[in-house]
Amino acid sequence: MERVGKWLGRPREIYNLLRFKMGGGAAVMPPLDQDALSDGLKTCYRYLNQTSRSFAAVIQALDGELRHAVCIFYLVLRALDTVEDDMTINLETKVPMLHDFHSYLYQPDWRYMESKEKDKQVLEDFPTISLEFRNLAKVYRDVIADICHKMGAGMAEFLEKKVDTQHEWDKYCHYVAGLVGIGLSRLFSASELEDLIVGQDTELANSMGLFLQKTNIIRDYLEDQLEGREFWPREVWSRYAKKLSDLTKPENIDVAVQCMNELITNALHHIPDVLTYLSRLKNQSVFNFCAIPQIYRKVPSTDPSSNKTQQIIVSIRTMSLPNGVEVSRNHYSPIYLSCAMLLAALSWQYLSAMSKASEEYVQASEN
């Protein structure tokens, strides 16, 4: 569960994806006024810099009280994730902790001093985080506690369970990223910086999280293999290999790419929802997408997923072309280009990394 919340794990990318303003170049992130913060909030932002430096920059771009709410949201989930990741905690202790973690937010003295994880400070000084949580407005507290409760239950469910089916893949991604997307969306609306529909439409927010999570899982195949983790659904990869690790072998490069393409096609199903979600954000500027059609022509007809991939791209083109169906008036974002670049990068990165690391992987396995 180390990849909890890629919404939060790749913060600058998500910030530029959600809040990018065309014509102004990269988003400008104003400095945080340390003098205006309480000692507790100063500590929280210090922990934020220690655990995810780039996410601290994203928070500095948020307005008013939303800034602090998202900071605390991040730290609470980081603490929860630290419990889940700590393999020195036995299951008899860990499972109840995951289920009960949301309740610790209202226990001023709760802390955990036995973690061996690198981010253990967020557990050892959890009273500071929980105090600042309780200082937030109720609308923010309710969202954070609810997401923490649901995510803790999901983590407990997948502790001893592998991702076998595509349905379980969606469920896993929901727990680790979809819930983060839902939580952030509800915080956006609670702050009144975005309309109520952004937080109310949990299906779109979940789909946004699933898209981001799946692309990272696909991209991180080799890294996960080398570290003994598997997140690709067995239902898919078993059609191409006897073991997931077999896809690292150079002689299996063709079927490996076909397997990857099937997973990419699965992730592409979320893009219409992503576009609809982004179209609702009030601060989005127009961005006319032009790269998806080029990719459409490059999908190899011999690939088993080519028909499904092309059908999905046709639907995306319909949403983005001038004569297509408009999702919302004049609100599109760089997600169009991001999706195209992502697909190209996934293919290039996978092929390059696989040829480079496969020999090392095989040698490590033999040793």
Q: What is the DSSP letter of 119?
A: T
172: annotated active-site residue = yes
134 among known catalytic residues: no
Q: Is 219 an annotated catalytic residue?
A: yes
Which of 289, 332, 336, 350 is labelled catalytic? 289
The verdict on whether 229 is a catalytic residue reads: yes
Backbone angles phi, psi at 36, to 5 degrees: -90, 0
Pick the closest to residue 317 from 334, 287, 292, 280 (CA basis). Answer: 292
DSSP of 11-69:
HHHHHHHHH--TTS-SPP-PPP-GGGS-HHHHHHHHHHHHH-HHHHHHHHTS-HHHHHH
- Following DSSP, what letter does each residue of 220-249 receive, concatenated? THHHHHHTT---S-HHHHTTT-SSGGGGGS
Beta strands in 209-322 (DSSP E): none
* Active-site annotation holder among 19, 46, 219, 280: 219
Neighbours of 337 (CB within 10 A): 15
Of 81, 309, 359, 354, the closest CA to residue 218 belongs to 354
Q: Of 45, 133, 140, 172, which one is the catalytic site residue?
A: 172
Annotated catalytic sites, by residue?
172, 219, 229, 289
